[in-house]
Structure 1
Amino acid sequence: MKSQTEVQNLIRKNFKDLSKYEVKKIQDFKRNDFVCEANVKLADELGVNESFYRTDFDKNGFTDLLIIGDDFSCYGGMDESCSFRPIVLLNFGNEKYKIVNISQNFDDYYTPKIVSKNGQNLLEIYRTRIKDWENKITYKNPQKQILAYKFDDFIEYNSNNQNYIPIQKIEFSTSGCYGTCPVFDLEINQNQDAKFIAKQFNFNKELETWSDKNEGTFQTKIKDKDFNTLIKLLAYIDFPQLENNYSVNWTDDQTVELKIIYSSGKIKTISDYGASGSYGLKKVYKLLFDLRQNQNWKKIDEK
């Protein structure tokens, strides 16, 4: 890939949901939006002035791309696009590709930059910190996160790869939202026995009528590979050090509650409105949501 047009055509050809994706520099987002304008200034300061960059994030020997662009999934006033969506295109050879979304939230403006640390290619994510919205004043130093490609996604980089945190039990529950967010409770203990209480919207993606009756209670033993991935991910993100509460800045979303009993009775509880507390937590939530569909659940009688 040598040109912006070649990269854009590759994305549109291989990914139907990105058929309108426009590859362009951060400086080409000329919107009457304070956060957008601040992000352009930040990109200039960081020297991020290209529409795509080459590297190898997963160390498979093929060139991956960090791409800046607009997927036209959002429209504002005067039919102007309000979407900003940098992505990473992973290359597996033989024209096999994967798109990884690196935005933490859907209305996220930030500047991504490739860095190398300890022999690994990483992503630095910079976000402008707003000090005064009315007078359009920002803090001097932006927020910075460092992300590594681990567990098939980009999550916060941890230089300590020897983390081990003995986990005795995981409890996970979700609330409803303005829509059909899956509502369920999930429990997994250290011998991989699990209980899944499906309440609403777990088995049908179509709009359903709300009912007070649960969809069922199920049990299984979590598959070794899925259980080990979950435990290793929780250790890698160093979950005891995370905040206890997270919240997005919009309404009508879902709240998830994660409770982990570990190290002979210690308890970590995380409440996350919007389920976007961190990159690592978003990956944990995805794995837990996926367990509803990728395990051999057996329905049990409800007492």
Structure 2
Amino acid sequence: MRYALLFLYAILSVSCQEEKTLPPQNMILGSWSSIDNTNQFANKRGFEFFPDSIFEDKYGFFSDRFYYSDSVNDPYNRYFRYFGTKSKYALSKDSLRLFNPAIQKWSSYKVEKLTPDTLIITTNVKDERGGTFIKKTYKTDTIPDFDAIYFYSSPCYGSCPVVSLLIKNNGDILYIGGANVKNKGLYQSNIGKEAFNRIQEKFKRADYMNLEDAYSAKVTDVSSVDIYFIKDNKVVKTIEDYGADGPNELVWAYFPLELIEQELDLKKLEIPDDIAKEFNIDKDYKDIVFYVGERMGFDFLIRLSDNI
């Protein structure tokens, strides 16, 4: 009996040592969500680290100044240049370095704590912020797929992108850029089925079918987004999120869609005469798709998708 207990103790000791010596490069892998509650945007921060020294910043990377799609005198033509959500990282001992492609610089953080479920990073650099993050895991196998998704982002008292887009599961995209975007007007593109599946997986991580129909932050003059999920030609779920008040996974899923146009190979589209007449659109007006609105944008893009 004594030998059996000694043998069990030896196994447990080895197991504990293996857990303690788990390499940081493995421990950091996965999705991390901020628990900073100082304001509504601080707790939306998040990262996902992959084995090939690639990480995803859930907010993405943006230029630190405005660009203009046309005249600098038109306040509705200014936009931030978007560099996507993924970049490079390096982890060694108690140091985490993240590369920002928007400014072509590395940001350095001190790793105060890294366990399988907690990451704490700090920095002394102005305008950069550390924080405490918790590991997130997801089971999405039982969450239903959707065939298409419609996304709309409204104007705000500022430079929010005004966008309507429809993405189908074959990768086809119809896009309307209204204001504060690089490409204003009506376009089509294709991102491929794999890219659609990645978008779908993000919304499944948010458990989209079980979310509230509407979220609203207690702030004013900010943008609202509306999302329609379509299955078998029917809208099976709609979500409105004013001021990014929804769960982190929801915001992380739709945030890149606002500026996806900057990553697309776009083809300009002309509105067929019969559809223009049906929606009472003046084709001679310069900004014919400036304020199509949430519901009209949906009806218009669905109708257009059946025609091309």
Structure-1-length-normalised TM-score = 0.49
Larger RCO of the pair (alpha carbons < 8 Å, separation 6+):
2
Considering fraction of residues, name the structure with more helix. Answer: 2
Larger radius of gyration: 2
Structure-2-length-normalised TM-score = 0.48
